[in-house]
Amino acid sequence: MLEIPEVKGVPSTKKRRIRRTPGKVFHFDMLLMLLPLGVMAVYYYGPGALWRILACMAAGVVYEAVGARLMRCPRDISDCSALFIGAATALMLPADVPYYVPLCGVGFAIAVVKLPLGGTDSVPFVPTAAGFAFMTLCWPDLVFRYPAIGTGSEYVQGTSLAGMLHRSTSIRPNLVNIFDILIGNFPGPMGACCYLVLAAGMIYLAVRYRRAIVNTLAFLLAAALMAVVFPRVHAGSVHLTSLLMEMCSGLLVFAAVFFVTDPAISPHKISHRFLYGFFSGVVCMLLRYFSHFEDSVCFGVLIADAVWPAVEIRLIRAEKKRKKARKAKAQEKEGAADV
């Protein structure tokens, strides 16, 4: 039996492997990081949280398949981005939000942002942030209406930390309420308030994506500095209370972990990643201070995504000019040494 020789430069079909794009790997890992947040949401709010998460994930897959077919654009449900958008959208909302709100948000994120603007690896905005911004503009009263935890079947409206800051009120920190905040036992988005789980997610992110964690840390550094320098609270130890409440309220940490690390938007150079994360954190905090809404982090992320490409172009041009100047100086020194 004759053996067909393998042509040099052409890989054998037996050894050929399908390469997964960074977006595929990234969103699969993001789904894994959302899993414990979903478990905590179900623990605190019951099976209603689970049904909303599953409904949004199923809707994401349907929107992706139907939208890609209608728009005649390539689709690859295996990249997990549709599942991630659905799960993240549900976890960013109150546990008792009507189903039509997150379903519309997921549809907007996929059909209006992700598919028409290039898909998973090319979209210039974070689709989930755009979907949440859409829901905020359409149903602000439902998006920021959080139930209290541990009230059983009886509905009792709670007050989130972001709502307190928006009204210039504050808590008096002690060991009990600080621990409750860290474990998510406080009114807020059902899957974005367990900060111990989010911290574990950051550790996983640092292990899997050493460059992406730079975005997150720079974002949180900018937010922490602004919280200390420009506090919105006026009781107790002002700066420490402001730092605790700003960092542990709303979607700030959630966005730092899941949004500013998106590989479709993140710069390549480490220094640019740091500047992008820091810039995004500043924009998000400014909108928190001056926005009409209780929490405007997603609007800040979208603005940063829109502005950053122009900033990065100028940074690259400045770096090229510096390199040319260094080369010219080096050539002058060589010429002078030869003389």
Percent of the chain whose pLDDT exceeds 70: 87
Task: Give the single-character DSSP code of 193.
Answer: -
pTM of the model: 0.86
Residue 304 and residue 260: Cα distance in Å, rounded? 9
- Going along the chain from its start, the domains and CATH numbers come out as 22-158+167-321 (1.10.3430)
User: 109 and 85 in contact (C-beta within 8 Å)?
Assistant: yes
SS3 per-residue string spanning the chain: CCCCCCCCCCCCCCCCCCCCCHHHHHHHHHHHHHHHHHHHHHHHHCHHHHHHHHHHHHHHHHHHHHHHHHHCCCCCHHHCHHHHHHHHHHHCCCCCCCCHHHHHHHHHHHHHHHCCCCCCCCCCCCHHHHHHHHHHHHCHHHHCCCECCCCCCCCCECCCHHHHHHCCCCCCCCHHHHHHHHCCCCCCCCCCCCHHHHHHHHHHHHHHCCCHHHHHHHHHHHHHHHHHHCCCCCCCCHHHHHHHHHHCCCCHHHHHHHCCCCCCCCCCCHHHHHHHHHHHHHHHHHHHHHCCCCCCHHHHHHHHHHHHHHHHHHHHHHHHHHHHHHHHHHHHHHHHHHC
The token pair at 166 is 């928006």
- Whether residue 22 is predicted with pLDDT greater than 60 in this model: the reply is no
At residue 338, the pLDDT reads 62
Residue 226 and residue 292: Cα distance in Å, rounded? 19
- Whether residue 133 is predicted with pLDDT greater than 80 in this model: the reply is yes
The band of 30, judged by pLDDT with boundaries at 50, 70 and 90, is very high
- Whether residue 8 is predicted with pLDDT greater than 60 in this model: the reply is no
**Residues 6 or more apart from 139 whose CB is under 8 A from it?**
101
The token pair at 158 is 């709670």
Q: Give the model confidence (pLDDT) of 282-335 as tens digits.
A: 999 999 999 899 899 999 999 999 999 999 899 889 888 888 888 878 777 776
On average, the pLDDT of the chain sits at 86
